[in-house]
Structure 1
Amino acid sequence: MRRDDTQGMTHMTHANHSPLWRAALLVAATCLLPTTAGAQGSALPLQQTACTFSGMVHELRGAMKTGSPAYRKYVLEQLKMAAKAMPAEELLAMVSQEREPDVLEALGKALVSKAGFVEDASLVQPLLQRAQGDADPNLRAAALKGLRATGSVDMMARNGNVVTYEQLIRDSSPVVREAVVGNLVDESAKVYFGHDKAVSETAVSTALASPDPEVAAKLLREVSMEQVGSETVGKLKGQLRAENPTLRAASATALGGVPGAESAGATGSLVELYRNEKDPAVRKAALEGLVRLGMSGARPTLQSLRGVAPAMDPEIDAWLAALNLNLQEWHLLLREKQRIRK
């Protein structure tokens, strides 16, 4: 493939939407599917057939029930590729009518793929409507999972924030709330590698909107905070006074990952938390946050906290011992501290 062809596919210019490009996609989406999917990935002869959505979804349905993981992935990729060129109406209708959670999730992924390709975020609205309003919580969760590991926060914003994660986290079903958390954690880690401000700040606002402290705490612990702004840092500081100790601890952990420009204020808040807190788990999280913020520069702060809560002094000593190893990477320092404090 020529360089300009590669750039065209990467950047999705208007030329990509030409009849020739659409035709090329249709050719690329020609199916090579076995007549029956092997449950253990058994080798079956492939037959070339023209792809239609109905035929591909029928094959997907069988793959979800009896196919190997590799075969399911293959069929899903075929569906996503075909979705870019096939008429949106057929896919939208299937998304609106599907009743099997696994198939709905796959159709959602295909719809999101098409929405990104044609640069029309409004295409995901039927998927978001199911995530918000379907009577079956498993289908609501499946619709949400269709957005996983994509730029869903940006897509929701470009769709006018008609449906948001802050709304969805209030769902009455745990499986839906878990899907919200999974989407934001994966998007932060796997799509933007912790470097997207909008995703991180959406995770904080979603956590604050959650009626479930455990769900909120999971978001704050697992989503990167390295790009958040001052306003969001202020919100995290406010959660250090939350009634639930798990939420206070998660907020302390989150504050440990804020940008360097916010580190002085975050350090002061964590020191105050450690001095006034009674829960050992929260104090432990505060120490971890302080070390992450300051790394080797955290030594004087840790030393100043010895004796505040004598039972916690072994935790401080473990951090000081780990810091003496002069490790420069946070994950290595954390691993060594955990080894020391077994």
Structure 2
Amino acid sequence: MNRSLRWRVALLASAAWLLPATSSATGSNPPPFQQTTCSFSGMVDELRAALKTGSPAYRKYVKARLKTAARVMPADELIGAVQQERDPDVLEALGAALADKSSFSEDSALVQSLLTRASSDTDPALRAASVRALRGIGSVDSIAKNGNVVTYEQLIRDSAPEVRQAVVENLVHENAKVYFGHDKTVSETAVATALASKDPEAAAKLLSEVSMERVGHETVERLRQQLRTDHPGLRAASATALGGVPGAEAGSTRQTLVELYRTDKDPAVRKAALQGIARLGMGSAQSALESLRGVAPGLDPEIDAWQSALKLGLQEWHLLLREKERIRK
């Protein structure tokens, strides 16, 4: 069976549930099958219509069916469509199917057309759509296997905020949903991307929301250097990130955060430092927190809340954080 026929068979299988039901109990005869043409252009036309007027469930279905068919269809048609598409929503859906095919076939070269559009298209909406299409796969690895010709560090410097937002959301999603916070390369790429950014808010979101549990010493040092930046939001995000560094870095990092709390005058930065100290120490953070009582009297209730939460002996960070917030209310 050639490739063209194989992907058409896959498409028909994915749509089998749409065939009319028959009932042998009533004795009714099923309607005869009718010959139809299943073409890629027809799929794109249906996708385009669904994205404009279809219900959310139908749009989801059409996108999923396209991904299923794309896994076995010839890549050339899909790449050509990605290169020519001018509607951002359609481009994102086509690109997501191409990215999924790339991941499924372990052929990273397939995403190069997306990276090219993400970096060079004149329309920022299409650049952003091309970036978003990479979400949900191991995009950091795919970018590296394409020779780092286009990287997230480059894309985060895009003049369009929607492109920068797409980069941030890709890395946050990949860290949390693809690797569950356990991939060193993704975490270090997120830090490098944040530090390459000229957008403090985008950088802060990356640093505060990406897991740092596997980063190396050099990355920890780069985070410490960010505690001296002029932007308080970025200082706070760096303190939050430092709270999640590996155990081997915990002792020295805790002292760094203690000193940050004593010297930084911004309340948000100080609160982030307290959170980082609590996270690094978990059960052993009590003395470090107590040593800071009275440094900023207005934040002593924050110290009290952390100490009360720590006494519960919770071992999962998200549970401890939730309990602390409950106490603080």
In 2, Cα distance between equivalents of 1:268 and 1:49: 70
Higher mean alpha-carbon deviation, 327-336 vs 280-289, is at 327-336
What is the correspondence of 1:198-213 to structure 2 with a 5 Å cutoff? Answer: 198-213=185-200
Match of 1:223 in 2: 210
Instruction: Give the aligned residue type for 1:242.
Output: T
In 1, Cα distance between equivalents of 2:225 and 2:35: 60
Question: Offset of 1:50 from its aligned partner?
Answer: 4.2
Match of 1:26 in 2: 8
Alpha-carbon contact 1:150-1:191 (below 8 Å) kept: yes
Structure 1 gaps of 5+ residues are 1-18, 35-46
Alpha-carbon contact 2:6-2:73 (below 8 Å) kept: no
Question: Offset of 1:303 from its aligned partner?
Answer: 0.8
In 1, Cα distance between equivalents of 2:65 and 2:311: 53
Question: Offset of 1:49 from its aligned partner?
Answer: 4.5
What is the correspondence of 1:157-236 to structure 2 with a 5 Å cutoff? Answer: 157-236=144-223
Instruction: Give the aligned residue type for 1:120.
Output: D
In 1, Cα distance between equivalents of 2:146 and 2:326: 47
Q: CA RMSD in A?
A: 1.8
Q: Helix, strand or coil for the counterpart of 1:305? A: coil
1:332 corresponds to 2:319: yes
Which of these residues, 59, 67, 70, is aligned with residue 83 of structure 1?
Answer: 70
Q: Helix, strand or coil for the counterpart of 2:291? A: helix
Q: Helix, strand or coil for the counterpart of 1:55? A: helix
Instruction: Give the aligned residue type for 2:154.
Output: Q
In 2, Cα distance between equivalents of 1:281 and 1:48: 66
In 1, Cα distance between equivalents of 2:151 and 2:85: 22
In 2, Cα distance between equivalents of 1:164 and 1:112: 16
Instruction: Give the aligned residue type for 1:192.
Output: Y
In 2, Cα distance between equivalents of 1:49 and 1:169: 46
What is the correspondence of 1:244-323 to structure 2 with a 5 Å cutoff? Answer: 244-323=231-310
Calculate the TM-score normalised by the size of structure 1: 0.87
Alpha-carbon contact 1:32-1:48 (below 8 Å) kept: no
Structure 1 residues 120 and 311, CA gap change in structure 2 (3 angstroms)? same
In 1, Cα distance between equivalents of 2:55 and 2:35: 20
Calculate the TM-score normalised by the size of structure 2: 0.91
Match of 1:98 in 2: 85
Match of 2:60 in 1: 73
Structure 1 residues 301 and 97, CA gap change in structure 2 (3 angstroms)? same
Match of 2:132 in 1: 145
Question: Offset of 1:333 from its aligned partner?
Answer: 1.3
Question: Offset of 1:116 from its aligned partner?
Answer: 2.2
In 1, Cα distance between equivalents of 2:309 and 2:80: 57
In 1, Cα distance between equivalents of 2:122 and 2:56: 29
Alpha-carbon contact 1:141-1:175 (below 8 Å) kept: yes
Match of 1:237 in 2: 224
Alpha-carbon contact 1:32-1:49 (below 8 Å) kept: no
Question: Offset of 1:52 from its aligned partner?
Answer: 1.8
Structure 2 gaps of 5+ residues are 19-33
Match of 1:13 in 2: none
Question: Offset of 1:79 from its aligned partner?
Answer: 1.2
In 2, Cα distance between equivalents of 1:20 and 1:124: 24
Instruction: Give the aligned residue type for 1:32.
Output: A
In 2, Cα distance between equivalents of 1:274 and 1:128: 42
Q: How many residues align?
A: 312
Question: Offset of 1:326 from its aligned partner?
Answer: 2.0
Alpha-carbon contact 1:250-1:285 (below 8 Å) kept: yes
1:122 corresponds to 2:109: yes
**Identical residues among aligned pairs (%):** 68
In 1, Cα distance between equivalents of 2:243 and 2:166: 25
In 2, Cα distance between equivalents of 1:49 and 1:302: 71
In 2, Cα distance between equivalents of 1:21 and 1:64: 28
In 2, Cα distance between equivalents of 1:51 and 1:216: 46
In 2, Cα distance between equivalents of 1:222 and 1:328: 20
Match of 1:42 in 2: none
In 1, Cα distance between equivalents of 2:182 and 2:81: 35
1:53 corresponds to 2:35: no
Deviations 1:17-68 (Å, cap 9, x if unpaired)? xx5788554312126398xxxxxxxxxxxx9844321110100001101112
Structure 1 residues 339 and 249, CA gap change in structure 2 (3 angstroms)? same
